[in-house]
Amino acid sequence: MMRIADRLGAVRGRLAQCGYDACLVPRSDEYLGEYIPERNERLRWLSGFSGSAGLAVVLRDTAAIFVDGRYTVQVGSEVPSDLFEYHHLLDEPLADWLASVLPAKSRVACDPRLHSLQWFRAAQKTLAEAKVDLVADTDNPVDRCWADRPAVVAKPALLLGDSLTGESSLSKRQRIAAMLVKRGCDAALLFAPDSISWLLNIRGMDMPQLPVVQSLAMLAADGSITLLVDARRLPPGFPEHAGEGVRVVPEEHVVEVFAAYSGLRVLADAGAASAWVQLSLANAGAILVDGADPVQLPKARKNAVESEGSRSAHRRDAVAEIRFLAWLDAEVAAGRLHDEATLAERLYRERAQGERFHACSFDTISAAGANAAMCHYNHLNGKPAALPIDSVYLVDSGGQYLDGTTDITRTVAIGKPDAEICRLFTLVLKGHIALARVRFPRGTTGTQLDGFARQFLWREGLDYDHGTGHGVGVFLSVHEGPQRISKAVSTVPLLPGMIVSNEPGYYRDGAFGMRCENLQIVRELDSATGDGGMLEFETLSLVPFDTRLLVIELLDATEIAWLNDYHQRVMDEIGPLLAGSERDWLLETTQPLDT
């Protein structure tokens, strides 16, 4: 097996053959998704980095890797510092860095399939000012050097009926086509596989954690759609399931399909769809109209069937999580301090027993002690650590069910954590409660709400380097747009039917980490007072928080009342689904706090 140094050497040899001075290696695939097939894990193959976001630059004599704040600890443990420089993806924009280190007339290879058109054009402009040429080249140098690169996986998709989706594909397509007519567009490029999967009421089997069908599509203003897909991904019965107006074309014929759009106005998201696809459309004569994916917003606003399905999935998920936490407490009390892998496997087995369970919604973050300081820690990337006594265990996990997607984080006391850990956990939970309780007018964005969750940490001069909330799909992506709750500016208002996470946290490098996460759905405020038009959150996750970690004196009466009410709801809804010692554990952990 080639070592990382050998892999770098092979890529550099390829660059020299092609006359390049550098190449870009993002963690990306042809659909720019967060979850990617093994054959597209180019960044991990090259550097050893296993995080969900990052980019490496290979130069003739050096190399660098760029990651965001979630991975500043992890990158140091996975990527050799003698081979790669470490840089912050946001603080040091890649194009600016390249412009500063490369001499004039340098040539940088960039696979346009793996970058958005918006990013490609901006980087090209920045580098051109430094007289550096960013060259679009689909002959990827990593692919040339990766001798044992995994093969394409293409499995038949699942067909979801109206009882799970609440709306037929034809109805969805006609509804969104009407939006294209209003925009004066003849068609829309649908680039995101989750948008296409939702629109056609299908779910993929290639990547169980992200059950999408890898494909491209062109939606016409009359509601008809051309689906560019590997035919092996479509099961028998798909034409009847999808309804009239669906044309299937092998994905390798994409350029020929685009020729039919010459002179037509095609809506395409420059910031989300790949440079290669959009440049191919433009080269075919299409008139690109920059705009958001028209499926994103309708998909994000769950209908009544999707909302109720999500509630049901969360109740089943809560049973699994509570059974796991009850078992964990009993094991710790007996002095059996298991390692992270054993714990993750136990939690998986509990979930897998649930009705309509399909897969985990992401790799479980099973993090003991200091490992929890890495927000997206993965115990599979090294030797799983055993639970340390008198510390905390962070478990962030979720499930894909046929009727919903879950994501929940609980921080658990192992023994008796010290007063500082308990103080910080209380501040984090106070922020969670503040966001869960907030009421807001229509038109409010997640950016405007983000500070509610951070306020108690900010008062202490503390913060966390990740968003507070991401959107979540229904048996789709656990990280769904366009909604989010974050310091990063969002212009998308939170609307009824949107599901978002509520997950403030705190992380101390080399010591511990904590996070309190529930999923919640936006709903109309049911109130006889006020002027109307107000919204609030309904919490979907139904698992108790570990009150052993609380400093009760730091909670006010309103916060205690919220926590007591939440725990009573957990007992009322999940208690009847449990029996024996597990129900006894839940009864004990949901006892009301004294005010």
Euclidean distance between CA atoms 477 and 194, whole angstroms: 7
- Per-residue confidence (pLDDT) for residue 531, from 0 to 100: 65
According to DSSP, the residues that pair with 410 across neighbouring strands are: 395
State whether residue 408 is helix, strand or coil: strand
Domain ranges of the chain: 4-145, 158-293, 301-586
According to DSSP, the residues that pair with 405 across neighbouring strands are: 400
For 589, the token pair is 């952990």
Question: How many residues are recorded in the chain?
Answer: 595
Which of 3.40.50.720, 3.30.70.20, 3.30.465.10, 3.40.350.10 is the CATH number of 158-293?
3.40.350.10
Euclidean distance between CA atoms 17 and 350, whole angstroms: 53
- Per-residue confidence (pLDDT) for residue 530, from 0 to 100: 60
State whether residue 527 is helix, strand or coil: coil
For 22, the token pair is 């550098």
Q: Are 443 and 493 within 8 A, CB to CB?
A: yes
- Per-residue confidence (pLDDT) for residue 376, from 0 to 100: 82
Alpha helices per DSSP H over 393-550? 419-437, 446-458
Class of residue 579 by CB neighbours under 10 A (exposed 0-12, middle 13-18, buried 19+): exposed
CATH topology of 158-293 equal to that of 301-586? no
Each residue's pLDDT tens digit, 570-594: 999 999 999 999 999 999 999 999 8
Euclidean distance between CA atoms 286 and 188, whole angstroms: 11
According to DSSP, the residues that pair with 59 across neighbouring strands are: 22
Q: List strand residue ranges (DSSP E) for 37-80, in order.
A: 55-59, 63-67
Each residue's pLDDT tens digit, 530-548: 666 899 999 999 999 999 9
State whether residue 32 is helix, strand or coil: coil
Q: Kindly state the percentage of the chain with pLDDT values over 70.
A: 99
Q: Are 221 and 256 within 8 A, CB to CB?
A: no
- Per-residue confidence (pLDDT) for residue 528, from 0 to 100: 56
Given a cut of 70, the residues of the chain with pLDDT beneath it are 1, 527-532
- Per-residue confidence (pLDDT) for residue 527, from 0 to 100: 65
Q: Are 180 and 267 within 8 A, CB to CB?
A: yes
Q: Domain 4-145, CATH 3.40.350.10 — does that match? A: yes
DSSP letter, residue 334:
T
Homologous superfamily (CATH) of 301-586 is Creatinase/methionine aminopeptidase superfamily (3.90.230.10)
Each residue's pLDDT tens digit, 385-432: 999 999 999 999 999 999 999 999 999 999 999 999 999 999 999 999
Euclidean distance between CA atoms 121 and 270, whole angstroms: 10
